[in-house]
């Protein structure tokens, strides 16, 4: 069911991080959020995907994803988690970017997202 996990890289300077990942590490920026860009991008090189997210503030106040798991058999995974009584932080939904996603929190409060391409 799970295909890959995507790390969420946080930065206090999105444009600087974008330049480093594209110009230095050879990633391609394939998608950015907002018009104008608000500080979130998806970067891919070969089979590796990285999310870069701009943020400021104290660590405990940050409520973004810590990891994004790309999955197949989305409905089966939802059923598996329900059978194990894993509480959903965010119930399954379809995003504005047409992904099916849900979110859970681990015992330390880290938000983990699970998503399937349309």
Q: Which residue has the higher pLDDT, 23 or 61?
A: 23
Torsion, Cα 104 84 97 54, to 10 degrees, reads 20
pTM above 0.75, yes or no: no
Residue 101: name the closest of 83, 88, 82 by CA: 88
Q: Would the pLDDT of 107 be above 80?
A: no
User: Which domains occur in the chain, in start order?
Assistant: 1-57 (3.10.180.10), 64-118 (3.10.180.10)
109: left (phi over 0), alpha (psi -120 to 50) or beta: left
pLDDT, position 88: 95
Q: Which residue has the higher pLDDT, 20 or 42?
A: 42
% pLDDT > 70, the chain = 89
Lowest mean pLDDT among 16-20, 33-37, 64-68: 33-37
- CA 98 centroid distance within chain: 14
pLDDT, position 62: 55
pLDDT in tens, 61-104: 457 788 899 998 999 999 999 999 999 999 999 998 899 999 99
Buried b / exposed e over 6-18, threshold 16 CB at 10 Å, is bebebbeebeebb
């Amino acid at each position: 069911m799970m295909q890959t996990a995507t790390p969420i890289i946080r930065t206090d300077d999105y444009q600087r991080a974008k330049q480093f990942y594209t110009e230095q590490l050879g990633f391609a920026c394939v998608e950015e959020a907002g018009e104008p860009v608000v500080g979130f991008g998806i970067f891919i090189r070969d089979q590796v995907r990285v999310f870069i997210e701009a943020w400021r503030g104290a660590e405990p106040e940050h409520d973004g994803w810590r990891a994004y798991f790309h999955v197949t058999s989305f409905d089966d995974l939802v059923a598996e988690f329900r059978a194990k009584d894993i509480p959903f932080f965010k119930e399954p939904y379809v995003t504005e970017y047409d992904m099916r996603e849900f979110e859970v929190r681990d015992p330390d409060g880290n938000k983990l997202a699970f998503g399937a391409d349309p």
